[in-house]
Chains A and B, each alone.
Chain A
């Protein structure tokens, strides 16, 4: 009955209509269907400088930076700049701008455009998301060279400057308010600049006719269908509507790979930010390094990654560094191994810290009060909630009555930023070198008083020795010297144990090689395979080829 009715309805509606092909919309050949952003409808914004979420290709295929950082190889790839160099006193940074690059409207791209972009950030500070002008004094152009003079020696500033998307002077100098400019028809240097169609639930970007890399991109166009959530995006991936996806897929071997093992692939490199258990070091007993160490040793990280992350990741290194710092990271044997699971030692440390075990199996503080703490997590971030549940169980096993306290995101984040929490699960900061990572974990410069908003260092830990190393790191451009400082930073981290690393986040990437080939893989790790990695996605988009095209 229902079946007959449904056919009847469908037939009645479809009578004489061209629009009623089967439910599986075929993507035209050469058009790469990408699923990254989750939205129910698209808003046409392609402003690369304004804060907020411009459509994903804005910084991944439309506008390009001077250098592209490849998190998998941990190196800089020259892009709109062919080379860069620091002056001897490390007070000025010079970029050689690539010759022969044209904007998509045919106008040549020059060093003037680069300088204009930086000047624009100075005029409109709200566009300066990386904080370029917090350490740059002025920008000068000399032929094809652009030189930024800095107000102090600050070598990690390279990553801030190199990542700024470059915009054309001849367009943007006419824009009234670059902050609220939605830029519906972008003129840019990237591989995909032509908006072929823009509808409520689908848009397509065509090839840049004047792209500077001869013959590239090989893909004719990018197509974006709107999926409001993970389930919808995954269904599209599984039925083959999506070629390249950056969303989390549960049980991917069974749900995705098994449907077409020859073509359906995934690679989840562990280059995302490391997830930490933060203990508020302004509160006893977390101000005691022995207690923080005991907390770490009490945790069964194997179980955490199994329960919370479906074994898509591994327990964190004792340095806290993810795989994106592989070239910097010390071997586990070279640092104090405080991320292993050792309940006996954890108990011994807690005893030594004067937190004696009570008759009820709960330890007491020096004031005689039982040790009971809340672990703050965001309700609905189910992976972290599960991680926190395992942590709570592990801590109860060493006599700490820990309870998971899920809260709505803003309330959770507000408490975290103000330092008004006991234990919390959260992310850590990332950058091309371990500098930013450790700065926001240990630097006294990043500590705010409790009650005031702090963008990082929520656990409020300050170490002068770490600061000395960080300062030295800021003042050397020599990779070997930086490497030695990074080694010292890692050892210092493992000694002072400011926060407890749990596991590195994977970057989600699933793709089908049925229609396109050339995706990054463990065998060909030329870039991060995830479309979420910006602007490294540029490396992928300029490499992919439709199948059967040489």
Chain B
């Protein structure tokens, strides 16, 4: 328990410094959102509009410490400000268009890829040089090495455009009203299949390889040999003696991956026209939309920290050494 609390304290400090960085970094970039927006009109907007834009975005030349003060004050009230790229929509509203979809698509994909990859990795190591071990790791590593964009485009072209089995775009059909109905939920699942499948396929190899490699070294340890020698059931040795210990590095990776879910999967979102935070992040950077950038970074930072804390808790459960230590 003490261990978990100590970690929590560490994460609080990390969160605070993240907030400071979050404030500073965008402001060190050249340019300002008003001129970026002005530029998007490429001559169709008269240069006089630049002043109006600057006034609207509250472009202050106020000293940094004052800007920081008002930033923290608004943050404390849960007010992330107005997005300049989607002006006058609030950052909360803009992030709201993508948050759930990102959690759904990227979250589920990471979960599936982790479960399948880890299981396959454990099995491959258990039956070393078996059929699975000979084919799965090289094949998945090969697929993982393809540029993801290309893989996704290919899947979209073959299964969406040419064969027409899956929709070409969007999280659900425009004619299905959102709600807790089977029609809507199945429609969403149908739309998510192709994007999720490409993410899983592309990331499977990583989980599999790291699990397999750790597993092999664990299988060579004395305590596994001892368990076998005692004549324990092979399945029991596999799951509770070997896999449980081999899982530790993968759990860390899983925590990282889960945290980064919120940064979205930009390429998936673009190829499959799927709503999500990855695209918003690019829009924010491209338009120097500091409020949106800060909102997104904050969400990502907090998610990474939270995921890591849960991983710490999982360690406490999986690895007794962390418990004694405290």
| CB-CB nearest in chain B for A457 | B47
User: Is B84 close to A, CB under 8 A?
Assistant: yes
Pick from B160, B271, B275, B280: contact of A201, CB under 8 Å = B275
B239 at the interface (CB under 8 A from A): no
Q: Are A20 and B186 in contact (CB under 8 A)?
A: yes
Q: Are A131's CB and B49's CB within 8 A?
A: yes
Q: Return chain A residues, CB-CB under 8 Å to B189.
A: 13
Give complex CA distance A235, B270 in Å.
Answer: 13
B52: contacting residue among A18, A128, A453, CB under 8 A: A128
Q: Is the CB of A201 within 8 A of B186?
A: no
Residues facing A in B189-246 (CB within 8 A) are 189-190, 193
A273 CA / B94 CA spacing, docked (Å)? 32
Which of A44, A47, A129, A232 sits near B273, CB closer than 8 Å?
A232
Is A361 interfacial (CB-CB < 8 Å)? no
Most chain B CB within a 10 A radius of its CB, from A43, A228, A236: A228
**Contact in complex: A40, B273 (CB < 8 Å):** yes
Kindly identify, within residues 216 to 260 of chain A, every residue whose CB is under 8 Å from any CB belonging to chain B: 223, 225-229, 232, 235-236, 239
Chain B 122-133 against A: per-residue CB contact (8 Å), 1 yes, 0 no?
000000000000
Known contacts A200-B275, A225-B170, A409-B39; A41/B56 CB under 8 A: no
Q: B85: shortest Cβ distance to chain A, in Å?
A: 7
Q: Which residues of A contact B166 (CB under 8 A)?
A: 6, 10, 23
- Contact A130 B35, beta carbon cutoff 8 Å: no
Which residue of the partner chain B has the closest CB to A455? B47
Find chain A residues with CB under 8 A from B154 CB. none
Contacts of B97 in A (CB 8 A): 41-43, 200
A20 touches B190 (CB 8 A): yes
A180 to B81, CA, bound (A): 11
Say yes or no: A430-B174 contact (C-beta < 8 A), given A10-B190, A24-B164, A227-B273.
Answer: no
List residues of A (109-136) whose CB comes within 8 Å of B's CBs.
125-131, 134
The answer for the CA separation of A207 and B220 in the assembled complex, in Å, is 74
In Å, the complex CA distance between A165 and B37 comes to 20
- The answer on a CB contact under 8 Å between A14 and B87 is no
Contact (Cβ within 8 A) A19 B186: yes
Q: Is the CB of B165 within 8 A of A10?
A: yes
At the interface, yes or no: B42 with Cβ under 8 Å from chain A? yes
CB-based contact B275/A126 at 8 Å: no
**Interface size counted on chain A using CB atoms at 8 A:** 76
Interface string of B270-305 (1 = CB under 8 A from A): 110111100110000010100000000000000000
User: Binary interface profile of B, 78-108, with partner A (CB < 8 Å = 1, else 0)?
Assistant: 0000101111110001100110010000000
Contacts of B29 in A (CB 8 A): 410
Binary A-proximity of B53-95 (CB < 8 A = 1, otherwise 0): 1011100000000000000000000000010111111000110
Give, as a whole number of angstroms, the nearest-CB distance from A16 to chain B. Answer: 7
Is B322 located at the chain interface by the 8 A CB criterion? no
Docked pose: A20 CA to B173 CA in angstroms: 8
Q: Does B183 contact A (CB under 8 A)?
A: yes
- The residues of B that contact A125 with a CB separation of less than 8 Å are 51-52, 55
A235 touches B168 (CB 8 A): yes
Chain B residue nearest in CB terms to A437 = B43
Q: Does A428 contact B (CB under 8 A)?
A: yes
Determine, out of A96-104, A279-287, A331-339, A411-419, the stretch whose residues face the partner at the interface: A411-419
Give complex CA distance A197, B227 in Å. Answer: 64
Chain A residue nearest to B156 (CB atoms) is A235
- Are A52 and B87 also in contact (CB < 8 A) when A43-B94, A130-B49, A455-B38 are? yes
Q: Which of A384-431 contact B (CB under 8 A)?
A: 409-411, 413-414, 417, 427-431
Known contacts A21-B173, A23-B160, A429-B47: A127-B165 contact under CB 8 Å: no
Contact in complex: B52, A126 (CB < 8 Å): yes
B45 at the interface (CB under 8 A from A): yes
For window 171-221 of A, CB contacts with B under 8 Å fall at: 179-182, 199-202
**What are the residues of chain A within 8 A of B165 when measuring CB–CB?**
6-7, 10, 23
Set of chain A residues within 8 Å of B178, measured between Cβ atoms:
199-200
> Do most interface residues of chain A lie in helix, strand or loop, or is the interface mixed?
loop
Asked if B270 contacts A229 (CB within 8 A), the reply is: yes
CB distance B87 to A53 under 8 Å?
Answer: yes
B179 to chain A, nearest CB (A): 11
- A30 → chain B closest CB, angstroms: 15
Per the bound structure, the CA–CA distance linking A14 and B175 in Å amounts to 16
Chain A neighbourhood of B173, CB < 8 A? 19, 21, 25
Enumerate chain A residues within 8 angstroms of B86, measured Cβ to Cβ.
43, 45, 52-53
Chain B residues with CB under 8 A of A413: 31, 35-36, 39
In the bound complex, residues from chain A placing their C-beta under 8 Å from that of B288 are: 410
Smallest beta-carbon distance A67→chain B, Å: 16
A436 CB–B CB distance under 8 Å? yes
Contact A409 B36 (CB under 8 A): yes
User: Are B168 and A23 interface neighbours, CB within 8 A?
Assistant: yes
Contacts of A29-47 to chain B: CB distance below 8 A: 40-45, 47
Assess whether A453 is in contact with B275, with CB atoms less than 8 Å apart: no
Do the beta carbons of A201 and B170 come within 8 Å of each other? yes
In angstroms, how far is the closest chain B Cβ from the Cβ of A141?
25
What's the least CB distance linking A13 to chain B, in Å?
5
Distance (whole angstroms) from the CB of A473 to the closest CB of chain B: 16
B187 at the interface (CB under 8 A from A): yes
Question: Does residue B184 face the partner (Cβ distance < 8 Å to A)?
Answer: yes
1/0 contact trace for B142-155 toward A, CB 8 Å? 00000000000000
Q: Does B30 contact A (CB under 8 A)?
A: yes
A456 sits at the interface (CB 8 A) = yes
Q: In the complex, which residues 21-43 of chain B have their Cβ closer than 8 Å to any Cβ of chain A?
A: 29-31, 35-40, 42-43
User: Is A440 an interface residue when CB atoms closer than 8 A count as contact?
Assistant: yes
Expressed in whole angstroms, the minimum distance between the Cβ of A240 and any Cβ of chain B is 12
Most buried by B among A16, A51, A453: A51
Q: Decide if B279 touches A228 in the complex (CB within 8 Å).
A: yes
Given A25-B175, A228-B273, A410-B288, CB of A13 within 8 Å of CB of B167: no
Output the least CB separation between A200 and chain B (Å): 5
With an 8 A cutoff between CB atoms, is B161 at the interface?
Answer: yes
The minimal Cβ–Cβ distance linking A327 to chain B, given in whole angstroms, is 19
Q: Is the CB of B169 within 8 A of A236?
A: yes
Counting chain B CB atoms within 10 Å of each CB, which of A43, A128, A182 scores highest?
A: A43
Would A51 and B190 be within 8 Å (CB), given that A131-B46, A235-B161, A453-B35 are in contact?
A: no
Question: Chain B residues near A273 (CB, 8 Å)?
Answer: 42-44
Alpha-carbon distance between A227 and B270 when the two chains are bound, in angstroms: 8
**Cβ–Cβ contact B43 & A429, under 8 A:** yes
**Additional pairs, 13, CB under 8 Å, beyond known A20-B186, A226-B273:** A19-B176, A40-B98, A40-B270, A40-B276, A43-B97, A45-B88, A130-B49, A131-B46, A131-B51, A182-B89, A200-B171, A202-B174, A413-B35
13 contacts between A and B (CB under 8 A): A6-B166, A10-B190, A19-B173, A45-B86, A51-B87, A52-B56, A53-B87, A125-B51, A181-B88, A201-B172, A272-B42, A410-B30, A453-B35
Which A residues fall within an 8 A CB radius of B?
6-7, 9-10, 13-25, 40-45, 47, 50-53, 125-131, 134, 160, 179-182, 199-202, 223, 225-229, 232, 235-236, 239, 272-273, 409-411, 413-414, 417, 427-431, 436, 440, 446, 453, 455-456, 505, 534
Q: What are the 3 A-B residue pairs with the smallest beta carbon separation, nearest first? A: A52-B87, A410-B31, A455-B47
